[in-house]
Structure 1
Amino acid sequence: MQFHIVQQGEENMRVFFELGWFFKERKLHYAGGIFMLLIVAFLGVLPPRIIGFVVDEISKGTLTVSYLLMWLGVLAGAALAMYALRYAWRIMIFGSSILLARNLREQLFRHFTRMSPTFYQKRRVGDLMAHATNDIQAVQQTAGAGVLTLVDSLATGGFVIAAMALTVSWKLTLIVLLPLPLMAFMTNYYGKLMHQRFHKAQEAFSSLNDKTQESISGMKVIKTFGQENEDIEDFKRLSHTVVDENIKVARVDSLFDPTISAIIGICYLLAIGFGSYFVVSGSMTIGDLVAFTAYLGLLVWPMLAFGWLFNIVERGRASYDRIRLLLSEPVEIEDQEGAVDLEPKGDLVFALDRFHFTNDERAALQNIHFRLKRGETLGIAGKTGSGKSAILRLLLREFDQYEGEITFGGIPINEYKKQSLREAIGYVPQEHFLFSTTVAGNIAFARPDTTMEEVQAAAKLAYIHEDILNFTHGYETVVGERGVSLSGGQKQRISIARALMMKPELLILDDSLSAVDAKTEEAILSSLKETRSGQTTIITSHRLSAIQHAHQILVMDEGTVAEIGTHDELMRKKGRYYEMYELQQLEALVEQGGEV
């Protein structure tokens, strides 16, 4: 049983060893704080002994004013010292724990920015947010209140027990401490239950957090389909689960104080019973017994703190395990040793034999071979799921595991530094994301130090300038999750302006003109052709009018190149591209009220 208790205790305290890297960083602050805690604990054992001395003098009838004033002065000095030291150790220990929370939060955020899209496909946003809030708060408590409780309970308990044994009666001290092994066993058992249940409570909170984020983001869709009541019921179910799991934690937590209070009650019973016997037998004075019971009162806090310590440590250990598991997720796309730190320029050569997504052995792309000369435009057509976006994601180095080679300027793209490669690419995705800032701030996202004239020039190239002037506050209008609601075409054109602000060597438009009318599309494409002379452009589109003027057109079908050539060459072949073009021409004619 003793081995089990020791083993479980070591397991419970493991989180302090795991946080050793931070304690080393702040060793002076923690050492100073702990030293001050020890002094406070030592000063805390003086009052009971002084009270015992005074009581003995009173019982003998020899108490003098000078004797009383001397000990009152000692008590006052100790009180002032404890006041100053308690303020100082709080700054050192609690201040350090706040820095730990900041460091962990920054580590998580930095880790998030390095992860590939596959990571975000496996992880829920709400769960990631819970790691960066609740879990970090629990770890902060461990490094702050946990360290305080550990040191204070051990130091105060140690000094009190030493004072009881050395200055009063070691026999009575041993008798009073007999129930403590039972308390150690029970608190260890409660700690194990606490760890298991708090882990489940945190997971339940993550699910609720994810549900909240998802519902708020998709509120328009929920209302459109009239699913408000169903969504509320789903939220209630998850909310009840969080409550239930936290109640289970609270039930274990509520066992600590009654158990410890019961043990303390037994200690008092033993102290008064055996202490009275020792006083009657003459081996102790009344002052000694008064001092002993006062010391026993001081021992209440270390015992209660010990139970509280298990609560804090188990919460911190469960949360730190979750954070470490997240940080241990490998970064799939890393810079090679000696990676090229230059902006790519030159021809783009795609020589891909085979590529498949993670956890899917089916080929997403195979036998994709083409050369795009610098300054040319490549159009990519094909139905949904044909592999258009997969080609672009490989160019952006969202994946590195494929058979074949992709070179940019004669150098394989995986030999460039990721930052250098991506700074050379202006990417406009299918799903346009605007940040909760001004229109100007969104356009100047990649170049925040740019001038308003340059922002407006990019907006004019994307044919969104006139629309912006009609907004309530023009370029200072706040957009994104809050503020004005933009149309799909406006979001697309702001995203295009944002990409053009980079003046990229390679501009990628991933079906980014689908929400604009044919006239605006033609104007934007003409603008790009005039201003991007000597720079490469790739456009994917379902609407062939967006790519028919490209130097090369790839027609994708089920992950392979079905056809390649210019618009005229593909039309003469009368293959898949010809059929798509004729069908779209027919659809356009019908929409205009024409006859077949």
Structure 2
Amino acid sequence: MKLFNQLKWFFLKEWKRYLGAITLLLIIAILQLLPPKLLGILVDAIIQNKKNSINIFNWVISMLATSIIIYIFRYIWRILLFGASYKLAVELRKKLYESLSKHNMSFYLTKRTGDLMARATNDVDRVVFAAGEGVLTLVDSLVIGFSVLVVMSTQISLKLTIIALLPMPIMAFIIQKFGKKLHIRFLESQAAFSSLNNQVQESLTSIRMIKAFGLEKNQLIKFNKIADFTSFKNMEVAKVDACFEPIIHFFISMSNILSITVGGWLVWTNVITLGQLTSFIMYLGLIIWPMLALAWMFNIVERGSAAWERIQEILIVPKLISDKNLNTAFPKIINNFIININCFKYPKTKNYFLKNIKIILSSGKILGLCGPTGSGKTTVLNLIQRHFPINKGEIIFNGVNLNQLSLKEWRNRIAVVNQTTFLFSDTIFNNIALGKPNATYSEIKFVAILANIHTDIIRFPKKYNTQVGEKGVMLSGGQKQRIAIARALLLNTELLILDDALSAVDGCTEHKILRNIKKWKKKNQSIIISSHRLSVIKNSDKIIVMKNGNIIQHGSHINLMKEVNWYSKMYNYQHI
């Protein structure tokens, strides 16, 4: 029942639909009480020879008409109720997508794609099922059950009703115990399904690598193990699930035995008539559905509750980066870009990854970052993009602390090309126009020429309308990087960040791109380039050399080459 309270915001939003469905359920419940009553009257009338064949026919027609009305009303409330639950699916998926799009990088360091997909699909379906079928069974069973009990108690025999329902409290206690067990096992089952989803997603993403290494059999064995484990967890759920219906039927059978035994004795002693006993047995038959429905409701609500917990883990994760929309305007005078990071460590880690990082980049200048693998270059760029909060320190751009700006305000002023290039399964044109959907063909062509990719594009049969495939599978690594560079250049922002963005292109192409960018950039535009290839940052206005999270050297290329240090040794090594 806790789930219904958690979803009350949606019930209030769609109150008209739910009120209409519940009203129809009430009418149906009342109408369902008529056939047993009429049948009891007919039985007594036939036994006592008080009715002729015409009157009997009229009673039968009345029961048939009642059944048709019930059918029509059931059709209408299903449209109302399930229509509302489908809206809930849309609402939840929108909330999940919005939440996923706002989480920072630390969130995605601990969550896997397959698990997130499972929560957005399978878990949402379980919650929606509970909001539809769960509400139906709850209202229907309570209304019908209560109505039938009132009629049985007042119209036939209170004593017989009490005796017939003696097994029910025991049944309710047992169902509650199984419900708690079902909740725990369903959580485990959903977690296993997420693992299965993760395995499938990783295998499909890396299928070319798997085939290249001949690992098909190994991956199949790994998948079979996870599939078998998931099947085992689902079977554990099914074992608990399978206990519900037999328990219900057993206790209903006990009620029937008590009803027939005690009821027969009451008929024998002339306390009730045979027709009343017939009606009582039929009413007891109507009680079977509420009992089964309640058990079923506990089942699907427990599943929905477990799924809701998993969804909430995504929706309520605190965001490490506070988005203070202070609407701070940048001053007209362009100041320096100051990076002052006293120390930084990633969330849930003990050791500091950066220490004493102090960089000043004048407006319109180019900064080069280099250093051994794992020296902290990408971490500095992540902090500039505000993917993580700085433990101690600050970053100031044009005289404004980045923490005083909303994420949207800041990221509108920067363009980034990351180490790992990602292209959407769309056309080349749309991939370049990602940050500026209303860009014209001439604008797209201009930045493509700057990124030295235009010549490659026009060789494709469909040119800029060429579909790149999933993650740009139809293109080479260098082509993907150059399209990503064109995409960033199109935004024409105040700060351009290239994080090892030229690693897949040859030296000649690299030279052309850097030359084009240098000619293209405006006076107040700054560029930060991180690269392992020192030829990429050779012509930067300032070069920073990092190692183990610290700055070990800084200066121009000429000055750094005058000393015997990491930079000069690496540059000479790369140019042997």
> Which of 134, 156, 163 is equivalent to 2:151?
163
- Kindly provide the CA deviation profile for residues 44-84 of structure 1, in whole angstroms up to 9, marking residues without a partner as x: 11100011111211111121456445534543443343233
Distance in 2 between residues matched to 1:74 and 1:484, nearest whole Å: 68
Equivalent position amino acid for 1:152 in 2: D
Report the counterpart of residue 236 of structure 1 in structure 2: 224
Report the counterpart of residue 571 of structure 1 in structure 2: 561
| 1:573 alignment partner, SS class | coil
1:242 positional shift: 0.9
Contact 1:437 1:480 in 2 (8 A): yes
Report the counterpart of residue 206 of structure 1 in structure 2: 194
The answer to whether 1:467 aligns with 2:468 is no
1:393 positional shift: 0.6
Distance in 2 between residues matched to 1:578 and 1:311, nearest whole Å: 69
- Kindly provide the CA deviation profile for residues 279-303 of structure 1, in whole angstroms up to 9, marking residues without a partner as x: 1211111211111111111111111
Closer, same or farther in 2 for the Cα pair 1:479/1:343, shift >3 Å?
farther
Equivalent position amino acid for 2:560 in 1: L
- Kindly provide the CA deviation profile for residues 69-103 of structure 1, in whole angstroms up to 9, marking residues without a partner as x: 55345434433432332222222221111111211
- Kindly provide the CA deviation profile for residues 142-198 of structure 1, in whole angstroms up to 9, marking residues without a partner as x: 110001001111111111111111112222111111111121112112111111111
The answer to whether 1:397 aligns with 2:386 is yes
Distance in 1 between residues matched to 2:460 and 2:31, nearest whole Å: 69
| 2:369 alignment partner, SS class | strand
Report the counterpart of residue 287 of structure 1 in structure 2: 275
Distance in 2 between residues matched to 1:435 and 1:18, nearest whole Å: 36
Contact 1:478 1:484 in 2 (8 A): no
> Which of 401, 404, 420 is equivalent to 1:412?
401
Distance in 2 between residues matched to 1:496 and 1:337, nearest whole Å: 29
1:339 positional shift: 4.4
| 2:178 alignment partner, SS class | helix
Distance in 2 between residues matched to 1:529 and 1:338, nearest whole Å: 34
TM-score in terms of structure 2 length: 0.96
Report the counterpart of residue 216 of structure 1 in structure 2: 204
- Kindly provide the CA deviation profile for residues 477-526 of structure 1, in whole angstroms up to 9, marking residues without a partner as x: 21142775211111110110111111111111101111111111110011
Report the counterpart of residue 434 of structure 1 in structure 2: 423
Distance in 2 between residues matched to 1:157 and 1:475, nearest whole Å: 66
> Which of 518, 538, 551 is equivalent to 1:561?
551
Out of 465-474 and 258-267, give the one that drifted further: 465-474
The answer to whether 1:485 aligns with 2:485 is no
1:536 positional shift: 0.9
Equivalent position amino acid for 1:495 in 2: A
Superposition map of 1:94-173 within 5 A: 94-173=82-161
Out of 405-414 and 466-475, give the one that drifted further: 466-475
> Which of 518, 530, 542 is equivalent to 2:507?
518
Closer, same or farther in 2 for the Cα pair 1:353/1:529, shift >3 Å?
same
- Kindly provide the CA deviation profile for residues 437-476 of structure 1, in whole angstroms up to 9, marking residues without a partner as x: 1111111111112122211211111011111122242212
- Kindly provide the CA deviation profile for residues 396-453 of structure 1, in whole angstroms up to 9, marking residues without a partner as x: 0011233122111110111111111111111000001111111111111111121222
Contact 1:164 1:170 in 2 (8 A): yes
Out of 217-226 and 82-91, give the one that drifted further: 82-91
Report the counterpart of residue 178 of structure 1 in structure 2: 166
Distance in 1 between residues matched to 2:112 and 2:473, nearest whole Å: 27
Distance in 1 between residues matched to 2:76 and 2:378, nearest whole Å: 58
Report the counterpart of residue 3 of structure 2 in structure 1: 15
Distance in 1 between residues matched to 2:319 and 2:507, nearest whole Å: 42
Superposition map of 1:167-566 within 5 A: 167-336=155-324, 338-340=326-328, 346-481=335-470, 484-534=473-523, 535-566=525-556
1:111 positional shift: 1.0
1:107 positional shift: 1.2
- Kindly provide the CA deviation profile for residues 567-594 of structure 1, in whole angstroms up to 9, marking residues without a partner as x: 11222234332222212121xxxxxxxx
Report the counterpart of residue 592 of structure 1 in structure 2: none
Equivalent position amino acid for 1:541 in 2: S
Contact 1:509 1:538 in 2 (8 A): yes
1:365 positional shift: 1.6
Number of aligned residue pairs: give it.
574
Equivalent position amino acid for 1:412 in 2: N
| 1:501 alignment partner, SS class | helix
Distance in 1 between residues matched to 2:101 and 2:322, nearest whole Å: 12
The answer to whether 1:582 aligns with 2:572 is yes
Distance in 2 between residues matched to 1:148 and 1:208, nearest whole Å: 32
The answer to whether 1:79 aligns with 2:43 is no
Out of 68-77 and 377-386, give the one that drifted further: 68-77
Distance in 1 between residues matched to 2:346 and 2:188, nearest whole Å: 32
5+ residue gaps, structure 2, are: none
Distance in 2 between residues matched to 1:228 and 1:341, nearest whole Å: 56
Distance in 2 between residues matched to 1:343 and 1:198, nearest whole Å: 56
Report the counterpart of residue 591 of structure 1 in structure 2: none
Distance in 2 between residues matched to 1:579 and 1:276, nearest whole Å: 104
Equivalent position amino acid for 1:481 in 2: E
Distance in 1 between residues matched to 2:17 and 2:298, nearest whole Å: 24
Distance in 1 between residues matched to 2:452 and 2:394, nearest whole Å: 37
Contact 2:341 2:355 in 1 (8 A): yes
Distance in 2 between residues matched to 1:290 and 1:358, nearest whole Å: 70
Out of 466-475 and 507-516, give the one that drifted further: 466-475
- Kindly provide the CA deviation profile for residues 352-404 of structure 1, in whole angstroms up to 9, marking residues without a partner as x: 22212122232222222222111111111111111111111111001123312
| 2:491 alignment partner, SS class | coil
Out of 147-156 and 218-227, give the one that drifted further: 218-227
Closer, same or farther in 2 for the Cα pair 1:341/1:163, shift >3 Å?
farther
Contact 1:341 1:420 in 2 (8 A): no
Closer, same or farther in 2 for the Cα pair 1:342/1:81, shift >3 Å?
farther
Contact 2:330 2:399 in 1 (8 A): no
